[in-house]
Amino acid sequence: MAKSAPKGNKSASKLIDARIEELGDWRGEMLGRLRVLIKQADPDVIEEWKWRGVPVWSHDGIICTGETYKAVVKMTFARGAALKDPSSLFNSSLEGNTRRAIDFREGEKINEKALKTLIRAAMTLNTSKVKRES
């Protein structure tokens, strides 16, 4: 019996693996943990590698990106301004009309339940947009 093809772009997944490993510090650990939570929240998520080295997670459109900087790991939601955020996770890019981001700093705890809810809401927003346009 043949195995089904993996979801998403296998080379993008390998590039994300490599980024996590090359960081070699708390940022790699944080990016890896965020990746696990994204996949738990949306098992059908597609991993992509865009804009010369940014991990991207999509489902009928971009859900979020995972950018790494010296002091933060930034999780940017492409359509975050349209999402309800009852747990007030968004703490960056608040002035825009479309995106919203969460900056994670070294040692910070992730509100995993609230983050998964936000990821699922972003996926639902994307899939509802696709259905409306069809």
Q: How far apart are CA 80 and CA 82, in angstroms?
A: 5
Tell whether 75 is covered by a domain.
Answer: yes
pLDDT of residue 5: 37
Q: Which of the residues in the chain have pLDDT under 50?
A: 1-7, 134
3 assigned to some structural domain = no
Is 109 within the bounds of a domain? yes
Is residue 99 within 8 Å of residue 81, measured between CB atoms? yes
DSSP states along 123-134: HHHHHHHHHHH-
Rounded alpha-carbon distances, angstroms, from residue 26 to 33, 44, 123 = 10, 27, 27
Q: How many domains does the chain have?
A: 1
Report yes or no on 1 lying in a domain. no
pLDDT in tens, 80-105: 999 999 999 999 999 989 999 999 99
Q: Say what the pLDDT of residue 132 is.
A: 55
Q: What was the pLDDT predicted at 52?
A: 86
Q: What is the CATH number of the domain that holds 43?
A: 3.90.1150.200
Residue 87, domain member (yes or no): yes
Global pTM? 0.88
Q: Is 76 helix (H, G, I), strand (E, B) or coil?
A: strand
Q: Which domain holds residue 46?
A: 10-127
CA atoms of 58 and 8, how far apart (whole Å): 9
